[in-house]
Structure 1
Amino acid sequence: MPTAVFRRLCLATGLCAVATLASAETWPSADWATAIAPASPAVAALETYAFAPRDDESRKGVRTDALLVIRDGQVIYERYAGPTTARTPHLAWSMSKSLLAATLGVAYGEGRFKLSDSVAQYYPAFAAHPQIKLGHLFNWASGLDWQEDYELAPLKSSVVAMLYTRGRSDMPAFVASHQGEAAPGTRFRYSSGDTNVLSAALHGMLGDAAYANYPWTALFEPLGISSATWETDASGNFVASSYAYLIARDLARVGLLMQRDGRWGERQLLPKAWVEFNRTPFAAYQPIAGEAVPGGQWWLNLPVAGAAKPWPDAPAETFAALGHWGQALYVLPAEKLVIVRYADDRDHSYQHNALLQLALAAFAPEVAQ
């Protein structure tokens, strides 16, 4: 095409500007590009909070194992502590739920299910609960009688029984044995059981052979993730509630995928509508002060029903994958930030808002310019 014609086409359509923007984006290949932020009082304040003197005997206080910050597709900060290194796959705990949501997002884009489908359509063991839809499970709104307590009430805890005692051989079947307590879709109750039933539904969609490799073929391999391990129960279902392991840099790839609305390079790996669903608050949620707002197996910072933002010093668009003992993957779209935190917090000293406030002071784009 002659240069003059090409320029006129650019001016007429704006497509050249889009192409230039896309080509300027930084994406990790085998490894991440780095542009480490210089030392500053703001970075020092962040480290003072995140990496306080570590008490491994009492396990009290803020106990960060890894802190990794990505800005605009580049590593700008990275530090490890305790037994964790850059090559240590760390237990994600309930961040695994958001990894399952991303995996199911690929299946959604392939046309394998609709949110309005009955769970029992894909997981026949759920036939006693015909009114529960897949969308209800994504919002932790199955209505099943479930108790998610851990250390505080282990003898009454549904999740402890599922993971460690009578439910551990077939976790989705254990969840299916619970009675309904509320109409599906009318009440939020956080439930690792809901997530593990989603895992079983994916199993039913795919069959044994494809399911065993699907998180890798659908999500991990396209993102260049090489460190992932995902445990299964004795029946071959991924323990999607709890038991994925990744190095921090690999988890950050999922964050960058979500920060860029499901796009990885030139490929729309997750439908944009799926990411929007992940970031949409559950309609029937009644806010709890200081608690993140449930979306589609992700956690949101949006003010809902007249309540304040859960993390007041972070942008409202901030969303996160969160896990037991302080695990967090924060995504801040407008600031082009992805923050991975692995941890071993045991006494609730750690506060999401505190770390986000300090990280924004140190690394927000306007600070760096």
Structure 2
Amino acid sequence: MCKGLSLFLLLICFTVQAEPWPGEQWPIGPKITGPAVEALERYAFPSRDDSTRQGVRTDALLIVRDGQIIYERYAGPTTEQTPHLTWSISKSLMATVLGVAYGEGLFKLENPAVQFYPPLEKHSTIKIADLLHWASGIDWQEDYEYAPLKSSVVAMLYTRGHQDMAAFSADHAAYAEPGQAFRYSSGDSNLLAAALKNIVGAQRYPDYPWTALFEPLDIRHAVWETDAAGTFVASSYAYLTARDLARVGLLMARDGRWKDRQLLPKDWVAFNRQPFSGYKAHQDEAVPGGQWWLNRPADGAASPWPDAPPDTFAALGHWGQALYVIPSEKLVIVRYGDDRDGSYRHNELLKHVLKAVQP
């Protein structure tokens, strides 16, 4: 592969080849053992009662260090071959797919979103960057079990909005100027999925997540549902095995590079990992980046995950789904769960993992 290159490029090429990368199968590194691993398992895999669904209920825990699997365990009905529902991790996946289109030069962050999704006409000043920051200014209520009758997301996914989720989202009124305020919104994410259809073209769109992202990463078993309008449900309905989701984490950990290919532009990954300037800190909440979550202090508040390095970032989903990336530790962690009572804590798992991987 490196034959015929200049000395400088040869050094780069051999460095890339020396790094462990998954092909069809993942490289397996030295498995971690010892008391810290036992403590991690006591936290992540307590005995579970499926009749009550109480407590921490981990379905999968996968730890990758420097491109090699060093820990893997499954519980419940989930196995190594199970494409698990990722819930809102799908938002970060859509951002990654959009990053490939960005690298093709098909759009810019400052483009008005209405340019690619005309039903946003009454919100014509929203930019693509605003949607990526969950800062569209669209009045959206992201409630599930707590206030289902007032919930925009429940209506979008299950009742009057489920046929065309982007159109339902665009039909909401505004509460703020775009780009000025953060309000977490599955509607914003589904508007991005609808915009992607015109960004890449209707002919490419149905296969685009696969041709752009999944196939280059050797992800073979991904499922991504669409609504009746044929738009990917970017907010909620992508399914991946833990091993396949870890490939996305490794891509992000290595600044968008996959083997010898820069699949995502570095400035796109930097945008994903840059805190939204309009965010007002809330205690114990991760800071929003570009459809990813960051372990960064905001407004003088403490880091949301104080036992993890400040460069930690994550894709997070309902009921305990998580993809954590810690570049400084060369770690990618996938945690799938079925948590229903809010007892799971990101910082607690990260603290245990970091202790378990220490030599």
TM bucket (normalised to shorter chain) is over 0.9
**Max radius of gyration: which structure?**
1
- Select the residue among 164, 181, 191 that pairs with 1:187: 181
Partner residue in 1 for 2:245: 251
Deviation at 1:208, TM superposition (A): 2.2
What do residues 213-238 of structure 1 show as CA deviations (whole Å, max 9, x unaligned)? Answer: 00000000000000100000000000
| SS state at 2:22 partner | coil
Unaligned stretches of 5+ residues in structure 1: 1-5
Task: Mark the CA change 1:260 to 1:357 in structure 2 (over 3 Å): closer, same or farther.
Answer: same
SS state at 2:204 partner = helix
Letter in 2 for 1:234: A
Task: Tell me what 1:43 maps to.
Answer: 37
1:90 equivalent in structure 2: 84
What is residue 57 of structure 1 aligned with on the other side?
51
Q: 2: CA distance between counterparts of 1:287 and 1:79?
A: 34
1:167 aligns with 2:161: yes
- Distance in 1 (CA, whole Å) between partners of 2:15 and 2:355 is 27
Letter in 2 for 1:189: R
What RMSD in Å do the two structures reach over aligned CA positions?
1.2
Does the alignment pair 1:272 with 2:266? Answer: yes
Q: Provide, for residues 173-228 of structure 1, a one-character-per-residue CA deviation record: whole Å limited to 9, x for no partner.
A: 00111011101111000000000000000011223221000000000000000010
- What whole-Å deviation, never above 9, does each CA across 1:248-298 have from its counterpart, x for those lacking one? 000000000000000000000000000000000000101001000000000
1:1-369 aligned within 5 A? 17-363=11-357, 367-368=358-359
- Return the TM-score normalized by structure 2: 0.97
Alignment partners' CA distance in 2, 1:227 and 1:246 = 7
The structural deviation recorded for 1:17 is 4.8
Would the aligned equivalents of 2:95 and 2:291 in 1 still touch at CA under 8 Å? yes
Distance of 1:18 and 1:234 partners within structure 2? 46
Alpha-carbon separation, structure 2, partners of 1:234 and 1:19: 45
The answer (yes or no) to whether the contact 2:163–2:227 under 8 Å persists in 1 is yes
Amino acid at match of 1:141: A
CA deviation profile, 1:67-112 (whole Å, cap 9, x unmatched): 0000000000000000000001100000000000000000000001
Structure 1: distance between partners of 2:200 and 2:15: 37
What amino acid does structure 2 have at the position aligned with 1:218? A
CA distance in 1 between counterparts of 2:122 and 2:278 reads 24
What amino acid is the match of 1:118? Answer: P
TM-score between both structures, scaled by the size of structure 1: 0.94
**Cα distance in structure 2, aligned partners of 1:159 and 1:109:** 31
Question: Percentage identity across aligned positions?
Answer: 65
Q: Which amino acid aligns with 2:227?
A: D
CA distance in 2, matches of 1:102, 1:306: 30
State the distance in 1 between where 2:115 and 2:203 align: 19
- Report if aligned partners of 2:32, 2:356 keep a CA contact under 8 Å in 1: no
Q: CA deviation at 1:24?
A: 1.3
Give the ranges of 4+ consecutive aligned residues of structure 1 lying more than 4 Å apart after TM superposition.
none
Give the letter for the 2:290 counterpart: G
Which amino acid letter does the alignment assign opposite residue 203 of structure 1? K
